[in-house]
Amino acid sequence: MGYPTVYPTGVLRYNPEKAWSGYTIMPLHNLGSLLIDMNGREVRLWKHFEGFPTKIFPDGTILASSGVRNPKYGLQDQRDLVQIDFDGNIQWKWNKAEYIDDPGEEAAWMARQHHDFQRDGNPVGYYVPGMEPQIDGGNTLILAHKEVHCPYISEKPLLDDVVYEVDWDGDIVWEWKCSDHAEEMGFSQEALNAMCRNPNFRGGSLVEEAPSVGDWMHINSMSKLGPNKWYDNGDERFNPENIIMDGRESNIIFIIDKKTGKIVWKVGPDYNSSPELKKLGWIIGQHHAHMIPRGLPGEGNILVFDNGGWAGYGAPNPGASDGTKTAIRDYSRVLEFDPVTLEIVWQCTPKEMGFLIPLDACRFYSPFISSAQRLPNGNTLITEGSDGRLIEVTKEYEIVWEYVCPYFSDDDNMNYIYRAYRAPYEWVPQLPKPEEREIAALDKTTFRVPGAAPLGVEKEVQVEGTVEPYKGIAGHCIANAE
């Protein structure tokens, strides 16, 4: 699909009567973490604090990361995980995962955090009624990296995923390492052979001079299950303390027992292995798999952004000559499914968005990053991350809020958003509740860039109202702490 070189950005539509209104927090590459209201007004930028992801807590506090390890030596390693108040003051910091002494770099302690973290009080990191994350205490679950050697996977150097639980004083009180459980994943012999040859080498081709390491699993989401009906009914797999994660490169979503570390539930890596999985369909390269928390519509179901794209290990084929990235699909799905029956409860695919599959399916497609958040009114906030688009959709698939990021990175000319979250206005008491103004969707058949010729010689197009010039971050952020 070809994209226009110029198109509207910011908030493109907003229906205050149907949307669940609040502030939206998002990380911007090389800029910081941006907070906007429903009309797209940029009300706060935490400059240099970028989220992997950024999570907003009560009292206008955020949890984000500060500093990135030189990618020549470690891909996606964040140096510090930090909690910052609304005024930009650091309230808490953690970096004691590993002391790093890279050539030509100043030696330092680093968190090596990537992709996710959770603070006690809230299992998933987004707003849930009655489940507020702690801001002055509690433990933090942190997803991080570690180099390992695991012959079961490959004799080649591996970049592994590790989860730390750290207390408020920064001490590690629990640790889980993914490679220790590779034999529980259910890989076929063909998949193991492919992984042995190429455990998803990253570096080299991606970053000049970077070391080649096998990012074999690439976990990108990690959260507790929290209280749920399954455990209440006696299913021990869904203990509220158990942790759900997903591996982007393996197409696996799995739950571990917090006490034993063992995998007690999973879908993937082979979605042809049972009638239930065949009906669910292949989940490929997914992000942000989590259990919808108690108190939100759909509680207890699994919600995931099923990216599509390319992922998985298996037999070599014409599209995957070495047996890596064997599953391919050129569109995305947002899935909500029952974790016991695997029945799809709700989904948002190109079909529901009004596009033809496969002819026009790529118009709902983000092959990397992205997320989905269930809102208290039953709507879903979707981050279609690769093209910087956020949409809030109703259960009936009406788009009631839409935003396109106007900020493009200088190094790759992309406006991507890793993951966005919506929070209630009262979580940011430093700001007055904004005035909400409906934004009707433009009529694409009549809208023209000013100065362009109108449609036809007899059709008159009348535009009511005025459009204020877009000022951007530098123009009207009310606060900008260094």
Q: What's residue 455's pLDDT?
A: 64
Per the prediction, the chain carries an average pLDDT of 93
Would 258 be classed as within a structural domain? yes
Structural domain total, the chain:
1
Q: What's residue 137's pLDDT?
A: 97
Q: What's residue 472's pLDDT?
A: 60
Q: How much of the chain exceeds pLDDT 90, in percent?
A: 85
Query: Is residue 95 over pLDDT 50?
Result: yes
Q: What's residue 410's pLDDT?
A: 82
Would 4 be classed as within a structural domain? no
Q: What's residue 75's pLDDT?
A: 87
Would 262 be classed as within a structural domain? yes
Would 240 be classed as within a structural domain? yes
Would 234 be classed as within a structural domain? yes
Q: What's residue 462's pLDDT?
A: 47
Give me the mean pLDDT over the 253-278 stretch.
98
Q: What's residue 203's pLDDT?
A: 59
Query: Is residue 480 over pLDDT 60?
Result: no
pLDDT digit string, tens, across residues 237-252: 999 999 999 999 999 9
Would 5 be classed as within a structural domain? no
Domain that holds residue 57: 10-481
Query: Is residue 317 over pLDDT 50?
Result: yes
Query: Is residue 268 over pLDDT 80?
Result: yes
Distance CA 35, CA 424 (A): 12
In which band, very low, low, confident or very high, does the pLDDT at 453 lie, cut at 50, 70 and 90?
A: confident
271 within 8 A of 281, measured Cβ to Cβ: yes
Neighbours of 51 (CB within 10 A): 26
Closest Cα to residue 192, out of 201, 180, 183? 183
Would 1 be classed as within a structural domain? no
343 within 8 A of 337, measured Cβ to Cβ: yes
pLDDT digit string, tens, across residues 141-172: 999 999 999 999 999 999 999 999 999 999 99
Contacts of 344 (CB under 8 A, 6+ apart): 279, 280, 335, 336, 337
Q: How much is the pTM?
A: 0.94
Would 355 be classed as within a structural domain? yes
User: What type of residue sits at position 398?
Assistant: E
Q: How far is CA 9 from the centre of its chain?
A: 21
Structure-token pair, residue 186: 């259910």
User: What type of residue sits at position 372?
Assistant: A
